[in-house]
């Protein structure tokens, strides 16, 4: 999830990381309705949520499922 561009944004304080003890962990069952591909477009307009994801991702790529749902549960 962390690449050089995302790390540069973190160091420039444009993006943020949470400490592990700040993240509310959750296990999400593997249902089609609860896929990152379906939920990702809905949450891209939330600025606070997007501060924890890279600005640029490869075309057709979505964030890691565990990272995505743990952050969604935290916010």
How much is the average pLDDT of 24-52? 91
Rounded CA-CA distance 31/13 in Å is 35
pLDDT above 90 for 29 = yes
Degrees, nearest 5: CA angle 37-38-44: 85
pLDDT of residue 1: 63
Tokens of 4: 């050089």
How buried is residue 27: exposed, middle or buried, by Cβ count under 10 Å (0-12/13-18/19+)?
exposed
| Residues 19-23, mean pLDDT to the nearest whole number | 90
Looking at every residue in the chain, the average pLDDT score rounds to 88
Predicted TM-score of the model (pTM): 0.81
Question: Mean pLDDT over residues 10-24, rounded?
Answer: 90
What would the mean pLDDT of 38-63 be, rounded to a whole number? Answer: 87
């Amino acid at each position: 999830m962390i690449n050089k561009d995302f790390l540069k944004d973190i160091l420039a304080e444009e993006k943020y990381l949470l400490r592990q003890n700040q993240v509310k962990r959750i296990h999400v069952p593997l249902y089609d309705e609860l896929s990152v591909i379906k939920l990702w477009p809905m949450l891209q307009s939330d600025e606070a949520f997007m501060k924890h994801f890279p600005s640029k991702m490869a075309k057709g790529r979505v964030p890691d499922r565990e990272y995505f749902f743990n952050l969604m549960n935290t916010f």
